[in-house]
Amino acid sequence: MPVFKTPFNGYSVKFSPFYENRVAVATAQNFGILGNGRVHVLDLSPNPGQPISELVAYDTADGVYDVAWSESHDSLLVAAIADGSVKLYDLALPPTSNPIRSFHEHTREVHSADYNPIRRDSFLTSSWDDTVKLWTMDRPTSVRTFKEHVYCVYSSVWNPRHGDVFASASGDCTVRIWDVREPGSTMILPAHEFEILSCDWNKYDDCIIATASVDKSIKVWDVRNSRVPITVLNGHGYAVRRDALVSRYDHHSEFAVGVDMSVLVEGLMASTGWDELVYVWQHGTDPRAP
């Protein structure tokens, strides 16, 4: 299956919601500790066995930890940067005209970005400054800052069916559920005893959420009755940074820190890791197979 080599360590990979053959990859030099970053936009060949081609790449002065495609414009891409900035790129413009915007309100590294799939006019960013911020494309400043977590917020994700609801995962060992119409969080879930690095909603059941932690486990919760998890998935040898409840793959030689599943092609997956490789493969096959 196709493999692409990046010059820096991979951090995140996201399929385009508009083009089934396009992915964006966030990378950072020196494992994201210090150095530059680069956003890659890659196109998969329609012919099996053909190499992945790079459509465009954007260099940054600091590492890139996450990317998120716009849900309303097929050429817009949001990037979460280690210097605390959030950058907006437009693939329809030449590289020299990008980024078209740079928002800089977070005071520490921006670790994740997520575009609203329902309203399609706003996105979230979460940061090591303990906050989540809500943004829209038509405003030069954030719409709102959500500050209740007492340690780094590693992930914030919109509910797939309710355009005003999102969840945030933090190093304070909690997941919080928010409704942007309310003044504060609507639920606090003490999901793990160690830092929570990721959370994600079930795309087919808007009350089910999965959490991933430094404790090497993934837990699945029903927010209607959150006293105990529905299930606990153990088996990882290290901290779990991304949720992907599908199968076991061990094709990366270093930490695999980014994984995504296509919403346009059933079973199509992509991953990236600190081994500087991007894999794209069909679920159930060997990602390393030619």
Interval 192-227: pLDDT, tens: 999 999 999 998 899 999 999 999 899 999 999 999
The residue ranking higher by pLDDT, 238 or 49, is 49
Name the percent of the chain lying above pLDDT 90: 81
Please report whether residue 240 resides in a domain. no
Whether residue 99 has a cis bond before it, omega within 30° of 0 = yes
Best CA proximity match to 64, nearest among 83, 41, 89, 77? 83
Please report whether residue 19 resides in a domain. yes
Instruction: From residue 169, give the alpha-carbon distance in Å to each of 235, 243, 249, 252.
Output: 21, 12, 25, 25
- Whose tokens are 């970005």? That residue is 113
Q: What is the pLDDT of residue 250?
A: 81
Best CA proximity match to 79, nearest among 105, 111, 56, 120? 111
Please report whether residue 166 resides in a domain. no
Element (H, E) at 90: strand 86-90
253 band by pLDDT with thresholds 50, 70 and 90:
confident
Cα–Cα dist 211/194, whole Å: 12
The residue ranking higher by pLDDT, 281 or 142, is 142
Cα–Cα dist 187/38, whole Å: 36
Please report whether residue 35 resides in a domain. yes
Pairing verdict, β 165-170 and 175-179: antiparallel
Best CA proximity match to 188, nearest among 200, 204, 201, 172? 172
238 band by pLDDT with thresholds 50, 70 and 90:
low
- Whose tokens are 């005071």? That residue is 107
Q: What is the pLDDT of residue 84?
A: 98
The residue ranking higher by pLDDT, 250 or 242, is 250
Please report whether residue 58 resides in a domain. yes
Q: What is the pLDDT of residue 230?
A: 94
Q: What is the pLDDT of residue 153?
A: 98
Our count of domains for the chain comes to 1
Please report whether residue 126 resides in a domain. no
Q: What is the pLDDT of residue 254?
A: 84
The pLDDT of 170-198, averaged and rounded, is: 97
Least reliable range by pLDDT among 9-13, 69-73, 282-286: 282-286
Q: What is the pLDDT of residue 240?
A: 57
Q: What is the pLDDT of residues 41-67, one digit of tens each?
A: 999 998 877 899 999 999 999 999 999
Q: Which domain holds residue 68?
A: 1-106+253-289
- Using the predicted structure, report yes or no on whether residue 290 has a pLDDT greater than 70: yes
Cα–Cα dist 193/171, whole Å: 10
Average predicted confidence (pLDDT) for the chain = 93
83 band by pLDDT with thresholds 50, 70 and 90:
very high
Query: Do the Cβ atoms of 173 and 194 come closer than 8 Å?
Result: yes
Q: Where are the beta strands (DSSP E) in 29-172?
A: 37-43, 53-60, 64-69, 76-81, 86-90, 101-103, 110-115, 122-127, 132-136, 144-146, 153-158, 165-170
Beta bridge partners of 166: 158, 178
Cα–Cα dist 212/91, whole Å: 33
Q: What is the pTM of this model?
A: 0.93
Instruction: From residue 258, give the alpha-carbon distance in Å to each of 25, 114, 122, 187, 251.
Output: 9, 14, 23, 27, 13
Least reliable range by pLDDT among 43-57, 123-137, 161-175: 43-57
At residue 97, φ and ψ (nearest 5 deg) are: -95, 5
Name the percent of the chain lying above pLDDT 70: 95
What is the identity of the amino acid at 259?
V
Please report whether residue 101 resides in a domain. yes
DSSP state of 97: G
Cα–Cα dist 278/290, whole Å: 14
Check which CATH number belongs to the domain holding 14 and give it.
2.130.10.10
Please report whether residue 7 resides in a domain. yes
The residue ranking higher by pLDDT, 237 or 165, is 165
